[in-house]
A and B are shown apart, each in its own frame.
Chain A
Amino acid sequence: MPDFYDDDARLTRPRIVALALSAALVALLSLIILTAPGDLERLNLVARERLTESGVANPVTAVLLNFRGYDTLLEVAVLLLAVIGIWSMARYARVWIKVPDTPVLAAFVRLVLPLMVLVSGYLLWLGADAPGGAFQGGAVLGGMGILWIAAAVWLPDFQFQRFARVMLVLGLIAFVGASTLLLALEGSFMEYPAGEAKNWILVIESAAMISIGMTLMMLFVGGIPRLNEGTV
C-alpha cells in the first residue's frame, strides 16, 4: 500500500460501526455537558478576588505561575521528558534539510530572527498584564529555531547539543530551585513572599520560556543534533 495516499478511505463495515459508536459518544457527552450543574463560579471568584496578591494583572498568568504554579512545574518536566523520549531514538533524526533553491528565504530569516527574539521577550514582559507570557514567547522562540533550521541558515551540530541540554533543563531547574528556596524561606511550597511575587514570577517565566522554545525546536529536529552523521 502506498504510504501517502490512504487509498482505503471507503466506509467499510467496521468503519460504519466505529462512526456509529463515536456518534453515540458525542450524543452522550453533549447531553452531559448541556445538563451539567451551572455552579462553576467558585474558582473563578477566588482567582479574581485574590488577583491583586498574585503580583501580575493578567489572571491567566496569575493562575499559571502563581495559583497553580505546581501544574506548570510538572508541565515543564513533561516537556523535558518528551525530548528525552525523542533523543532516545537519536539515530532517527527527522530533519531532512535541503538548502533552499533561492537565497531569499535565508535572507528573510536572517532579517526576521532578531525581531523574533525581541517579540518573545516582549510577549514575556507583556504577559504580566495583557495576553502573552512564557508559553507564547516560548512558541515564538521555538518558531525561530524551526525557521533557522528550515531555511538552512544554521544547522544544529553535535557541539550544539551541550548548549541545548543546558537550555532544556533551565526551566525545570529554575522552577524546582525557586520552589525549594521558597520552601526554606517561607515554609510553604510555591508561595511567593508578599509583594515580591512579580520578581519571582519573572525569573521563573524567563527560564521556562527559554526551555519551552528549545523544547519545541528539539521536537522539530527529532533526534540528538548530529549534523555530520546524517539522518536516519
Chain B
Amino acid sequence: MNDSAALYAVAGVILFGMGIYALVAYPHLLRKILGMNVMGIGVFAVFVALAYRGPDQPPDPVPHALVITGIVVAVCATGLGLTLATRLKALTGVAQLTPDQED
C-alpha cells in the first residue's frame, strides 16, 4: 500500500471511530444518525483507499462499485431513520433517548 492510500485508509478508520463515539455518547437521535453517516463515510474511505494503486495504475473498480451501492443504501437508511425520529418527536415530544425512557 502506498503512502497516500495508507493515509486515507487511516483517516477512514478515524472517521469510523468518531462516528461510533457520536452514536454512543449523544442522546439526540439526529446526532446519532449523523454519527452513523460519518461511520459510513469512514468505511467508504477505507474501501476507496484500498482500491487506489498509485498515480500510474488504474484503480480497482470492484470496491468503487461497492461504495456507490453503499452510498445509496446509506441515504435510504438515513431517510428511514429520520422518518422514525420525526415520528418519535410527534408522538412523545422529544427526539432524544433520555435516561427516563430506558426502562
Write the residues of chain A forming the contact surface with B, with a CB cutoff of 8 angstroms: 1, 3, 6, 8-9, 14-15, 18-19, 22-23, 25-26, 29-30, 33-34, 38, 40-41, 43-44, 47-48, 59-60, 62-64, 67-68, 71-72, 75, 78-79, 82, 85-86, 89, 92, 94, 133, 135, 138, 212, 215-216, 219-220, 222-223, 232
Contact = CB atoms under 8 A, between A and B. Distances in A.
By secondary structure, the A interface counts as helix
Nearest to B79: A219
Nearest to A75: B69
Interface residues of B, number: 49
A60 B90 contact: no
Contacts of A94: 82-83, 86
11 contacts: A6-B27, A25-B16, A33-B9, A47-B60, A59-B61, A67-B62, A72-B69, A82-B76, A89-B84, A92-B87, A220-B79
Given A33-B13, A79-B72, A60 B83 contact: no
Contact of B13 (A15, A26, A43): A26
A150 B63 CA distance: 34
Interface in B36-64: 46, 50, 53, 58, 60-62, 64
A97 B80 CA distance: 20
A63 B62 contact: yes
Contacts of A79: 72-73, 76
A40 B50 contact: yes
B76 A215 contact: yes
Contacts of B62: 43-44, 47, 63, 67-68
A2 to B, nearest CB: 10
Given A3-B94, A3-B95, A222 B60 contact: no
Contact of B83 (A1, A3, A89, A135): A89
Interface string B66-94: 10110111011111101110110110001
Given A44-B61, A78-B76, A94-B83, A8 B27 contact: yes
A64 B62 CA distance: 8
Contact of B96 (A1, A72, A86, A223): A1
Contacts of A8: 27
Interface string B1-38: 10000100110011011101100111110010000000
B25 A14 contact: yes
Contacts of A15: 25
Given A44-B60, A60-B61, A222 B13 contact: no
B17 A92 contact: no
A26 B9 CA distance: 11
Contacts of B61: 44, 47-48, 59-60, 62-63
A60 B68 contact: yes
